[in-house]
Amino acid sequence: MTTPGTDESETPSAAHMHDRPGASATEPSHDAGVVGASGFTNDAGQTTLMGAARAYVAKVRGGEPGALPAVFGLVVLLIVFSQLSKVFLTTGNLANLPGQAGPTILIGMGVVFVLLVGEIDLSAGTAGGVCAMLMALVATNGGNLNGAVKGGSYWAVVIVVIAGLAVAVWQRLWPATTIIALGLIVVLTHLGGHIWIAMFLAISAGTAIGCITGYLVARVGIPSFVVTLAFFLAWQGVIISFAGKGGAISMGQFYPVIALAHRNVNPTGGWVIFAIFVGGYGAYTLIRSIRRRAEGLAAEPLSLVLVRFGVLAAVGIFVVVFLNRNRQVNKAATPVIGMPWIVPLVLVLLVAMTLLLTKTAFGRYLYAVGGNAEAARRAGIDVRRMRIAAFAISSTLAAFGGLALASYNGGVALDIGGGNTLLYAVGAAVVGGTSLFGGRGRIRDALLGGIVISLIPNGLGLKVNINAAYLYIITGAFLLLAAAADAFGRRRQSV
Amino acid sequence: MADTPILALRGINKSFGAIQVLHDVDFNVYPGEVMALVGDNGAGKSTLVKCVGGIYGIDSGEFFFANQPVDLHSPRDAAAHGIEIVYQDLALCDNLDIVQNMFLGRELRRPLIRALDESAMERRSRETLTSLSVRTVASVRQLVSSLSGGQRQTVAIAKAVLWNNKVVLLDEPTAALGVAQTRQVLDLVRRLADNGLGVVLISHNMNDVMEVADRITALYLGRIAAEVKKADVTYSQVVELITAGRSGNIGLQPATAAESA
């Protein structure tokens, strides 16, 4: 009697539960809350592609346009220029783009770091120029910088490098310390006769310059706008002074330098690079999504990961195929095929710097300093050290940009890194989606923005009858639009 | 009294130049209780908190943590003893998400490669918020810029709890909040104490104080007017302590000060 009795007493309650789906739905979720995470309804992430799309639209509307303005600008420019000139969409033309955009992208990547902490680096262009000039001088003088420039200038270089080293040691920036110390050895021992070592010296000089800039901004407390404006002017003078009576220095005999913009990876190598970067990205995002979902953490839907990977792979395949076509005008001559060496260089730095920003505490602190310096300070972060580090990284990447400039121009001219170089780099970062107000930005912004910014002169250059005035006006308009999107985004977020 | 304070200040003096802001201040925080620190503007509440937090050095006086004398010279000292301050202006980074803010400066890293351990951080953030019964946050991966004032306060308080702190000082946690959000935060304050922490609540809002506090310390022009149990005083007595430094037989009268605790 008892057993059926209990059965009967339980059955109605179960039926009752079934009659009220609302109640039964609440119960388990409440239990789950005790075990793990019930309050966080969105933490499983958007599970469908549509959900992810809606979330993305909401994000854009909420003031985070991300890469959208850059991609939009890219599409518009491609359409307009392809209508303007039949040559525009040929491999012969667009294969020049990596060489043209390379310096802007590399300097722009550095500028992203400085913008992230809420500062500005106007000197990155000419600092990169100084670095390239140093490389050219030591490379063409068998490593003897003392013989290449007047003794006073030589010791000025040594003192600057030692000052940078001192800042790096004092602020415990160990990677910077290592790079600068090795550079100092190269300068003092006249080892820079080998072109690879000379190129390293340029990078090292960039790091030293950045440490000094950062010290003046973060420790002395001079606004970065003023410090870097002063250096922007001063480095131009240093370049001219170093060149002396010799004027521009040709780098034609140095293959590794020229190769960046003017020599190409062979087609097979191009596919290997494609496989490593696109495949690596796809594998990483896929594994991350699956693993995080298994752990019950916020994860992207698999479909989104696959769609994104598909789009990236399609673009990548198209670019590799496009660049692997022969663009030699004289079909009888040696074919010109493959991607310029600057493409893998940019990709390596893109991945390395992105990992630095997103996977390390160091990168997290950079964002924190830009988002709320006071909060960062209270969290025990050495805000001034982070600022110095940002400038050090900026100038280091600017040195890479200087090398790319030297490569594209075939040598180091007296105006290297001057003029619009820096402004285009800042423009690239901003067009790509990096905020001028600090705290928001990614390394890929410089890549996307740099392509957009460099596409304008590339396309307009094909129409000989178009006045150079349009170049500046159109570039300016793009920059203004991008900055407006940034400001608009911030206003949306603060509401 | 059965309870011994987890944190005790004895005879704290603090001057800024010629102006003495704190006069021989004694202050106690008891584990598992909410101690409200009340006083008018300029009474020295914020200064006292910053002395405890190691942001300001003291001129004279002693700190005792769990009956042991300790030095609090820097925010790091305070953090090392498990003392956490949730400041009025929150000190959160808008451009980072909840997990990133909660672990800011103390990120968990994977062994060997030293990369950030996002999974562990996300899991622990969620556990902490769950343990505080926070149910108002949709995702721990939301940017702080998208949170309401109450949610931000919740995150800031949860951040203080995450690190197994012994003492949490909350500086005006409800000042900028609406009714419902104030309710959430006060519940949270109560739960902190119920979890065994010593909680200091600084507030101008007497309703909040009377509702959530176990004890009340009133500061009057840099001096301790009284430390009383909430059950022993009325709303108007507390207001008198704040505005006049004394109320009837409690407050700044040498003869009666001793029995007030």
Condensed to tens digits (0 to 9), the pLDDT of residues A143-190 reads: 888 888 877 888 999 999 999 999 999 999 999 999 999 999 999 998
Chain A hits for B94, CB-CB cut-off 8 Å, are 371-372, 439, 493
The C-alpha of B95 sits at a distance from chain A's nearest C-alpha, in angstroms, of: 5
Amino acid identity of residue A188, one-letter, is L
User: Is residue B232 situated within a structural domain?
Assistant: yes
User: Is residue A326 situated within a structural domain?
Assistant: no
Of B96, B118, B122, nearest to A368 by CB-CB distance is B96
The answer, yes or no, to whether residue A455 has pLDDT greater than 50, is yes
Residue B61 sits in a domain whose CATH number is 3.40.50.300
Question: What total number of domains does chain B contain?
Answer: 1
Report the alpha-carbon distance of residue A237 to residue A260 in Å, rounded: 26
Q: How confident is the model at residue B253 (pLDDT cuts 50, 70, 90)?
A: low
What does the block give as tokens for A422? 């820096």
The C-alpha of A333 sits at a distance from chain B's nearest C-alpha, in angstroms, of: 50
User: Is residue A124 situated within a structural domain?
Assistant: yes
What does the block give as tokens for B172? 């005006």
Chain A hits for B100, CB-CB cut-off 8 Å, are 364, 367-368
Report the alpha-carbon distance of residue A347 to residue A446 in Å, rounded: 12
Please judge whether B116 and A493 are an interchain contact, meaning their C-beta atoms are less than 8 angstroms apart: no
Choose among A89, A118, A185: nearest CA to A373: A118
Report the alpha-carbon distance of residue A314 to residue A202 in Å, rounded: 36
**Least confident piece of the model among A377-386, B102-111, B208-217, B245-254:** B245-254
Identify the sign of the CA torsion A87, A90, A93, A94: positive
What does the block give as tokens for B63? 């700190």
B96 to chain A: closest CA residue: A368
CB B116 within 8 A of CB B107: yes
Average pLDDT in the B86-94 region?
A: 81
User: Is residue B62 situated within a structural domain?
Assistant: yes
Of B96, B126, B134, nearest to A371 by CB-CB distance is B96
CB B213 within 8 A of CB B190: no
pLDDT on residue A28: 36
The C-alpha of B228 sits at a distance from chain A's nearest C-alpha, in angstroms, of: 32
The C-alpha of B29 sits at a distance from chain A's nearest C-alpha, in angstroms, of: 23
Domain that holds residue A379: 65-263+340-487
Average pLDDT in the A222-235 region?
A: 96
Q: Decide which of A125 and B113 is more confident.
A: A125
pLDDT on residue A333: 83
The answer, yes or no, to whether residue A9 has pLDDT greater than 60, is no
Report the alpha-carbon distance of residue B212 to residue A426 in Å, rounded: 52
% pLDDT > 90, chain B: 16
Coil/strand/helix, residue A180: helix
**Is the ipTM here above 0.85?**
no
Output Rg (C-alpha) for chain A, integer angstroms.
Answer: 27
The answer, yes or no, to whether residue B77 has pLDDT greater than 90, is no
User: Is residue B110 situated within a structural domain?
Assistant: no
User: Is residue A416 situated within a structural domain?
Assistant: yes
3-state secondary structure A262-290: HCECCHHHHHHHHHHHHHHHHHHHHHHHH
Give A420's contacts (C-beta < 8 A, 6+ positions apart): none
Chain A hits for B110, CB-CB cut-off 8 Å, are none
Q: Which residue has the tokens 């590794």?
A: A256
The C-alpha of B21 sits at a distance from chain A's nearest C-alpha, in angstroms, of: 23
The C-alpha of B88 sits at a distance from chain A's nearest C-alpha, in angstroms, of: 12
CB B170 within 8 A of CB B96: no
Judge residue A90's burial from the number of C-beta atoms within 10 Å of its C-beta, 0-12 exposed, 13-18 middle, 19 or more buried: middle
CB B140 within 8 A of CB A44: no
DSSP state for residue A340 in the 8-state scheme:
B
Report the alpha-carbon distance of residue A101 to residue A94 in Å, rounded: 11
Coil/strand/helix, residue B116: strand
Please name the helix (run of DSSP H) or strand (run of DSSP E) that holds residue B34, with its range, or none: strand B34-39
Q: How confident is the model at residue A416 (pLDDT cuts 50, 70, 90)?
A: very high
User: Is residue B39 situated within a structural domain?
Assistant: yes
Q: How confident is the model at residue A61 (pLDDT cuts 50, 70, 90)?
A: confident
Give A85's contacts (C-beta < 8 A, 6+ positions apart): A459, A462, A463
Give B257's contacts (C-beta < 8 A, 6+ positions apart): B226, B251
Kindly report the number of other CB atoms within 10 A of residue B216's CB atom: 26
Q: Give, in order, the Cα–Cα distances in Å from A445 to each of A234, A255, A433, B182.
A: 29, 30, 6, 41
Average pLDDT in the A425-441 region?
A: 90
Buried b / exposed e across A219-238, counting CB within 10 Å, b at 16+? eeeeebeebbeebbeebbeb
Locate all alpha helices (DSSP H) within chain B, ordered by sequence: 45-52, 75-80, 98-102, 118-131, 149-162, 179-194, 206-212, 235-244, 254-257
DSSP A187-198: HHHT-TTSHHHH
Domain that holds residue B71: 7-91+165-260
Report the alpha-carbon distance of residue B134 to residue B128 in Å, rounded: 9
Of B106, B116, B126, nearest to A359 by CB-CB distance is B116
Average pLDDT in the A439-464 region?
A: 89
Chain B hits for A359, CB-CB cut-off 8 Å, are 115-116
Chain B hits for A379, CB-CB cut-off 8 Å, are 91, 104-106
A437 to chain B: closest CA residue: B95
Please judge whether A374 and B119 are an interchain contact, meaning their C-beta atoms are less than 8 angstroms apart: no
Helix-, strand-, coil-residue percentages of chain B, each rounded to 5: 35, 25, 35
Please name the helix (run of DSSP H) or strand (run of DSSP E) that holds residue B229, with its range, or none: strand B223-229
CB A256 within 8 A of CB A403: no
CB A222 within 8 A of CB A369: no
Q: How confident is the model at residue A445 (pLDDT cuts 50, 70, 90)?
A: very high
Question: What total number of domains does chain A contain?
Answer: 1
Please judge whether B135 and A62 are an interchain contact, meaning their C-beta atoms are less than 8 angstroms apart: no
Which of B106, B122, B169 has the highest number of chain A CBs within 10 A, making it the mutation to test binding with A?
A: B122
Report the alpha-carbon distance of residue A134 to residue A141 in Å, rounded: 11
Distance of CA A94 to the CA centre of its chain: 21
CB B85 within 8 A of CB B52: yes
B100 to chain A: closest CA residue: A364
Digit-coded pLDDT (tens) for B186-200: 888 898 888 888 999
Name the range with the highest mean pLDDT among A282-291, A345-354, B13-22, B221-230: A345-354
Q: Which residue has the tokens 């009383």?
A: B228
User: Is residue B76 situated within a structural domain?
Assistant: yes
CB B214 within 8 A of CB B230: yes
Phi and psi based region of residue A45 (left: phi greater than 0; alpha: psi -120 to 50; beta: remaining): left
A378 to chain B: closest CA residue: B91
The answer, yes or no, to whether residue B210 has pLDDT greater than 70, is yes
User: Is residue B241 situated within a structural domain?
Assistant: yes
Please judge whether B95 and A370 are an interchain contact, meaning their C-beta atoms are less than 8 angstroms apart: yes
| B positions 93-152 inside 8 Å of A (CB) | 93-96, 100-101, 104-107, 109, 114-116, 118-119, 122-123, 126, 129-130, 134-142, 145-146
The C-alpha of A373 sits at a distance from chain B's nearest C-alpha, in angstroms, of: 8
Coil/strand/helix, residue B247: strand
Q: How many CA atoms lie within 13 A of B186 on its CB side?
A: 21
User: Is residue B116 situated within a structural domain?
Assistant: no
Please name the helix (run of DSSP H) or strand (run of DSSP E) that holds residue A493, with its range, or none: helix A468-494
Amino acid identity of residue A112, one-letter, is V
The answer, yes or no, to whether residue A120 has pLDDT greater than 60, is yes
User: Is residue B121 situated within a structural domain?
Assistant: no
Q: Decide which of A251 and A11 is more confident.
A: A251
Between strands B215-220 and B34-39, the pairing is: parallel
User: Is residue A313 situated within a structural domain?
Assistant: no
Please judge whether A292 and B119 are an interchain contact, meaning their C-beta atoms are less than 8 angstroms apart: yes
User: Is residue A159 situated within a structural domain?
Assistant: yes
DSSP state for residue A217 in the 8-state scheme:
I
pLDDT on residue B18: 86
